[in-house]
């Protein structure tokens, strides 16, 4: 069986690692990786393949930043050509990026079966491009691999139910279990940045809803500045966020701004943080994996179970004072213990299902 996997962004590289490792020990399977180039910065792409032990992509489409329509359209055409060349049994996509939607649409139109890993997530905010991507991908998929019961319920309300919907857990948890020790052993990022364990806030900001809205980005920067007056704040800065902040003339002040970091360094920063403030879906989960309180800089989250369990707090980032107060109030506040995302064997379950034909 041949699986064609389309990836293009940091969280997808992480998720792809779990399946790539399982494919490597399954002789009846082969995987062809296609990297769209959606994340083209070396620290957001190449280094992740190296540190995660993912095979080099067979295809690198080199499609970088553009408007949503232009980027998705260019990906759609390029992926279609790869499908016609490779003739896979399955095309597999992860998450909710433009790469995800382009891969799913290209395969569906060529009558190649689509498998969607991390299906069923909903923010119920259709202004988010990610929400549209995940809804459309779910509705053209032949196998939907779902991380939580909440996501299964979302699909059911949209009429997507039956033997092609599979509750398998979260592949990011698979990777977190495998890489946590390696990060502590190999990463020197805390020493390099002169940080002390449990004595700093880690932040990431990249979503268009924050970076493209001047009021929100200004509130985030100023809120982090306030926190940095009393506790170090580290911000690995996404290229788009840096560009937008520069255009607005925003000053990060005491916030320790660093370039994007590799996967092991990012894990180590997450493990050692007192709190994580982020707008990333993946980082929200990683905070929980390492039992670090999280403040999500958004109006809503797909990972509602983290809020219910007390590990995650939502704050709409339109007021700097409120943002800073929320971060300070959550320091040291742990949530409920439990296993929200499976038992660390989601990748194995996915491959067993694909091979067993338990799909529509």
Kindly state whether residue 175 falls inside one of the protein's structural domains. no
pLDDT of residue 258: 97
Q: Are residues 226 and 275 in the same domain?
A: yes
Q: Which of 154, 164, 206, 238 is catalytic?
A: 206
Q: Are residues 160 and 267 in the same domain?
A: no
Number of domains in the chain: 2
Say how far apart CA 68 and CA 71 lie, in whole Å: 5
> What is the band of 51 on the pLDDT scale with cuts at 50, 70, 90?
confident
Kindly state whether residue 225 falls inside one of the protein's structural domains. yes
**What is the CATH number for 35?**
3.40.50.2000
- Please determine, for residue 118, whether its predicted confidence score (pLDDT) is greater than 70: yes
C-alpha torsion angle, residues 221, 223, 228, 234 (rounded to 10): -50
Kindly state whether residue 16 falls inside one of the protein's structural domains. yes
Domain that holds residue 145: 2-170+342-357
Phi and psi based region of residue 289 (left: phi greater than 0; alpha: psi -120 to 50; beta: remaining): alpha
pLDDT of residue 10: 81
> What is the band of 45 on the pLDDT scale with cuts at 50, 70, 90?
low
Contacts of 223 (CB under 8 A, 6+ apart): 317, 319, 320, 321, 322, 323, 324, 327
CB 350 within 8 A of CB 117: yes
- Please determine, for residue 358, whether its predicted confidence score (pLDDT) is greater than 70: no
CA proximity to 241, closest of 279, 274, 188, 287: 279
- Please determine, for residue 39, whether its predicted confidence score (pLDDT) is greater than 80: no
Kindly state whether residue 49 falls inside one of the protein's structural domains. yes
Q: Are residues 99 and 191 in the same domain?
A: no
Higher pLDDT, 50 or 320: 320
Q: Are residues 304 and 353 in the same domain?
A: no
Q: Are residues 122 and 190 in the same domain?
A: no
Q: Are residues 133 and 206 in the same domain?
A: no
Average pLDDT, integer, range 295-309? 96
- Please determine, for residue 160, whether its predicted confidence score (pLDDT) is greater than 90: yes
Average pLDDT, integer, range 220-248? 95
Say how far apart CA 347 and CA 49 lie, in whole Å: 17
Sign, CA dihedral 198-204-209-211, equals positive
Q: Are residues 138 and 26 in the same domain?
A: yes
Q: Are residues 157 and 25 in the same domain?
A: yes
Q: Are residues 245 and 297 in the same domain?
A: yes
Kindly state whether residue 176 falls inside one of the protein's structural domains. no
What SS3 state is found at 222? helix
Q: Are residues 326 and 351 in the same domain?
A: no
Q: Are residues 320 and 351 in the same domain?
A: no
pLDDT of residue 2: 96
Kindly state whether residue 336 falls inside one of the protein's structural domains. no
Higher pLDDT, 34 or 359: 34
How much of the chain, in percent, has pLDDT values that exceed 70? 97
Helix 129-140 to helix 98-109 angle, to the nearest 10 degrees? 30
- Please determine, for residue 73, whether its predicted confidence score (pLDDT) is greater than 90: yes
Say how far apart CA 271 and CA 198 lie, in whole Å: 8
Q: Which residue has the tokens 């940095």?
A: 228
CA proximity to 4, closest of 69, 78, 73: 78
Q: Which residue has the tokens 């202004």?
A: 127
Contacts of 20 (CB under 8 A, 6+ apart): 31, 33, 53, 54, 55
pLDDT in tens, 132-141: 999 999 999 9
pLDDT of residue 44: 55
State the average pLDDT for the chain: 94
Kindly state whether residue 247 falls inside one of the protein's structural domains. yes
CA proximity to 222, closest of 300, 214, 314: 214
**Residue 166 annotated among the catalytic residues of the structure:** no
pLDDT in tens, 252-299: 999 999 999 988 999 999 999 999 999 999 999 999 999 999 999 999
> What is the band of 240 on the pLDDT scale with cuts at 50, 70, 90?
confident
Q: Are residues 152 and 34 in the same domain?
A: yes
pLDDT of residue 42: 57
Count of alpha carbons within 13 angstroms of residue 182, beta-carbon side? 11
Q: Which helix (H) or strand (E) holds 94?
A: strand 90-94
Kindly state whether residue 109 falls inside one of the protein's structural domains. yes
CA proximity to 14, closest of 114, 83, 125, 97: 97
């Amino acid at each position: 069986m041949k699986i064609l996997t389309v990836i293009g962004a940091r969280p997808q590289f992480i998720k792809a690692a779990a399946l790539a490792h399982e494919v490597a020990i399954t002789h009846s399977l082969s995987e062809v990786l296609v990297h769209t180039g959606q994340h083209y910065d070396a620290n957001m792409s190449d280094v992740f393949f190296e540190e995660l032990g993912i095979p080099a992509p067979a295809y690198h489409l080199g499609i970088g930043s553009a408007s949503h329509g232009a980027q998705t359209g260019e990906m759609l055409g390029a992926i279609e050509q790869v499908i016609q060349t490779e003739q896979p049994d399955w095309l597999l996509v992860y998450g909710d990026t433009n790469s995800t939607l382009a891969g799913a649409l290209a395969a569906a139109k060529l009558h190649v079966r689509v498998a969607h890993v991390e299906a069923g997530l909903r923010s119920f905010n259709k202004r988010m491009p990610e929400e549209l991507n995940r809804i459309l991908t779910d509705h053209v998929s032949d196998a939907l691999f779902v991380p939580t019961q909440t996501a299964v319920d979302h699909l059911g309300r949209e009429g997507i139910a039956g033997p092609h919907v599979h509750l398998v857990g979260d592949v990011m948890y698979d990777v977190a279990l495998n890489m946590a020790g390696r990060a502590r052993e190999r990463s020197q990022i805390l020493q390099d940045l002169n940080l002390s364990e449990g004595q700093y806030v880690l932040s990431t900001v990249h979503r268009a809803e924050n970076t493209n809205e001047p009021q929100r980005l200004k509130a985030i920067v100023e809120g982090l500045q306030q926190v940095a007056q009393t506790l170090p704040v580290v911000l690995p800065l996404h290229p788009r966020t840096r560009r937008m902040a520069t255009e607005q003339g925003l000053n990060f002040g005491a916030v320790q701004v660093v370039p994007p970091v590799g996967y092991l360094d990012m894990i180590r920063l997450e493990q050692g943080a007192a709190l994580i403030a982020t707008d990333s879906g993946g980082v929200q989960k990683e905070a929980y994996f390492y039992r670090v309180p999280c403040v999500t800089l958004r109006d809503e989250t797909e990972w509602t179970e983290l809020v219910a369990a007390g590990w995650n707090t939502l704050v709409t980032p339109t007021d700097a004072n409120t943002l800073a107060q929320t971060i300070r109030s959550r320091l040291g506040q742990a949530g409920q213990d439990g296993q929200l995302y499976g038992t660390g064997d989601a990748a194995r379950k996915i491959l067993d299902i694909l091979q067993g034909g338990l799909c529509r």
